[in-house]
């Protein structure tokens, strides 16, 4: 495997060694870490195979078993939006949960925002020893590159959507169900011209759109091209996209915004146009950030359990670091109804 600008040394993987030995990856990890739980005969067999195939002992796994402090990098890819900031409330709340969980377990956090590809960044920093594992916050538009990273020995997990062809562990909310809940509420409120605000190039947003569309179809309605608005996550960019949309005067009585930040930008733009919320246009956001309940009007939104999400990202990454595998987890979503609907 080769990556432009980053050399990856070809070598046998733990999974290959486990297959040769006829045992699990966790058994290989424990055997090479000289765990007393593994029988002597099994240890000798695995050690001999590792030597024969020039398998290098995973220092991260050894550190984990000896309870040394690990450094976990949290990588937030650059969205390419000029006004996107690391201060985005949802990211900060999720990051807080990750940091608390790592601290409780005696590990350290390294935070990085980068414009380089997630695959290249992770390979470079793990191989240099800068960190022992990586948590990626969001797939961005790099799903293919992250899938390629899964073929390496780099331990990582991702906050994001669950995709049909993915090879990596993801923790995230059930985005499709969340989108469906949001749209169904607007339909129950009698809204029939419901706009969708979000960047569907991003997996999580695309899944939320699928749920929105499913709710419309179940109600005997179809999606309206004029009401599908590409609104970035950056507040200024989202506001301008919404202003441009409203200038076209398309029929509109409801909005499903794919983040609370986008929903708040919509409230601002609608107010400047003289439209009342929820009398003229009802709005549902996504994330339930702390500010949502204090906004004017208080925002109806889909809650993502970022407290549990942050904890589970750490739990699953540590499972991978110690030589095991980790299944993806989709958290349930809760619709929080407030005055904006």
For residue 313, is pLDDT > 70?
yes
Determine the pLDDT at residue 3.
Answer: 38
Helix 14-21 vs helix 40-52: angle between axes, to the nearest 10 degrees? 130
pLDDT band at 18 (very low <50, low <70, confident <90, very high): confident
Give the CA-trace dihedral at 295, 226, 303, 77, to 10 degrees. Answer: -100
Question: In the β-sheet with 329-331, what is the strand arrangement from edge to edge?
Answer: 108-114, 71-77, 133-137, 156-159, 170-173, 329-331
Determine the pLDDT at residue 109.
Answer: 93
What are the pLDDT digits (tens) for 25-61?
A: 667 777 787 777 678 888 889 888 888 887 765 555 5
Lowest pLDDT segment from 16-20, 56-60, 259-263, 329-333: 56-60
SS3 67: coil
Percentage with pLDDT > 90 across the chain: 53
Residues contacting 242, CB < 8 A, separation 6+ = 197, 229, 231, 262, 265, 266, 269
Determine the pLDDT at residue 5.
Answer: 39
Question: Which stretch of DSSP H or E encloses residue 183?
Answer: helix 175-188
Q: DSSP letter at 299? A: P
Lowest pLDDT segment from 39-43, 90-94, 112-116: 112-116
Determine the pLDDT at residue 230.
Answer: 92
Structural domains in the chain plus CATH codes: 14-57 (no CATH), 71-173+306-330 (3.40.50.2300), 175-304 (3.40.50.2300)
Determine the pLDDT at residue 115.
Answer: 58
pLDDT band at 75 (very low <50, low <70, confident <90, very high): confident
Determine the pLDDT at residue 316.
Answer: 95
For residue 165, is pLDDT > 90?
no
Tell me the average pLDDT of the chain.
85
For residue 10, is pLDDT > 50?
no
Determine the pLDDT at residue 119.
Answer: 64
Question: Which stretch of DSSP H or E encloses residue 257?
Answer: strand 254-257
Reference 250, options 277, 223, 216, 215; nearest CA is 223
Q: Give the range with max mean pLDDT: 11-20, 128-137, 150-159, 241-250.
A: 241-250
Q: DSSP letter at 307? A: H
What are the pLDDT digits (tens) for 230-252?
A: 988 777 889 999 999 999 999 99
Percentage with pLDDT > 70 across the chain: 84
In whole angstroms, give the CA distance from residue 127 to residue 140. 23
Reference 195, options 221, 234, 225; nearest CA is 225
Q: How many CA atoms lie less than 13 Å away from 166 in the CB half-sphere?
A: 20
Lowest pLDDT segment from 110-114, 123-127, 193-197: 123-127
8 Å CB contact between 68 and 75: no
Interior angle at CA 134, CA 27 and CA 309, nearest 5: 90
pLDDT band at 169 (very low <50, low <70, confident <90, very high): very high
Determine the pLDDT at residue 150.
Answer: 85
8 Å CB contact between 14 and 50: no
Determine the pLDDT at residue 218.
Answer: 97
What are the pLDDT digits (tens) for 255-288?
A: 999 999 999 999 999 999 999 999 999 999 999 9
């Amino acid at each position: 495997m080769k990556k432009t600008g980053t050399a990856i040394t070809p070598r046998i993987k733990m999974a290959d060694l486990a297959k040769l030995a006829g045992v699990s990856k966790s058994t290989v990890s424990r055997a090479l870490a000289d765990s007393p739980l593994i029988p002597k005969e099994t240890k000798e067999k695995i050690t001999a195979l590792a030597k024969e195939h020039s398998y290098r002992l995973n220092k991260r796994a050894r550190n984990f078993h000896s309870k040394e402090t690990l450094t976990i990098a949290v990588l937030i890819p650059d969205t390419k939006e000029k006004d996107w900031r690391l201060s985005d409330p949802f990211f900060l709340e999720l990051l807080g949960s990750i940091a608390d969980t790592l601290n409780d377990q005696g590990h350290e956090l390294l935070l990085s925002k980068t414009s380089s590809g997630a695959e290249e960044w992770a390979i470079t920093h793990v191989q240099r020893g800068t960190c022992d594992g990586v948590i990626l916050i969001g797939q961005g538009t790099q799903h293919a590159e992250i899938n390629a990273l899964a073929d390496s020995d780099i331990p990582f997990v991702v906050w994001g959507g669950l995709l049909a062809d993915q090879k990596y562990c993801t923790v995230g909310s059930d985005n499709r169900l969340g989108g469906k809940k949001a749209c169904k509420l607007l339909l129950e409120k009698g809204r029939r011209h419901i706009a969708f605000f979000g960047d569907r190039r991003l997996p999580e947003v695309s899944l939320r759109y699928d749920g929105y569309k499913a709710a419309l179809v179940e109600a005997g309605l179809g999606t309206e091209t004029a009401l599908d608005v590409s609104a970035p996550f950056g507040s200024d960019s989202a506001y301008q996209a919404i202003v441009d949309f409203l200038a076209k005067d398309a029929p509109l009585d409801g909005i499903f915004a794919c983040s609370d930040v986008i929903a708040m930008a919509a409230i601002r733009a609608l107010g400047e146009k003289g439209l009342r919320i929820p009398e003229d246009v009802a709005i549902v956001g996504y994330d339930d950030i702390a500010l949502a309940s204090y906004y004017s009007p208080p925002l109806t939104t889909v809650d993502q359990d970022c407290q549990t999400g942050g904890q589970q990202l750490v739990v699953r990454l540590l499972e991978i670091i110690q030589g095991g595998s980790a299944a993806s987890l989709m958290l349930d979503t809760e619709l929080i109804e407030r005055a904006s609907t």
